[in-house]
């Protein structure tokens, strides 16, 4: 159980870092400190990172669902005894 919690916390931590980077990037563009093309390059990197986090979330959800099914089966087996 601790493994999924650690994974969940890590994913959330990574997402929060990316959100802050995106906010900083938007502020740099809005203040004119970076060009649109520079913004686009870094924004694409952030979008790719978000896509990877979403993939990791999907994998974690699938693992958790699998574990739930396994535990439900164990409960059914124990109830039959």
Q: Rounded to whole angstroms, what are the CA distances from 70 to 1, 56, 64, 67?
A: 13, 21, 10, 5
Q: Report the number of distinct structural domains present in the chain.
A: 1
The pTM score is: 0.80
* Per-residue pLDDT tens digits for 8-60: 999 999 999 999 999 999 999 999 999 999 999 999 999 999 999 999 999 99
What count of Cα atoms within 13 Å lies in the side-chain half-sphere of residue 48?
A: 6
Q: Give residue 23's pLDDT.
A: 98
* Per-residue pLDDT tens digits for 56-75: 999 999 999 999 999 999 99
Q: Give residue 2's pLDDT.
A: 72
Q: Which domain holds residue 39?
A: 2-80
């Amino acid at each position: 159980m601790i493994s999924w919690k650690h994974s969940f916390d890590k994913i959330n931590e990574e997402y929060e870092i990316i959100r802050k980077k995106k906010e900083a990037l938007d502020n740099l563009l809005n203040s004119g400190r970076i060009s649109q093309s520079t913004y686009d390059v870094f924004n694409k990197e952030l979008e790719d990172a978000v896509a990877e986090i979403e993939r990791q979330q999907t994998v974690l959800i699938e693992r958790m669902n699998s574990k739930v099914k396994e535990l439900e089966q164990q409960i059914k087996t124990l109830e039959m005894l």
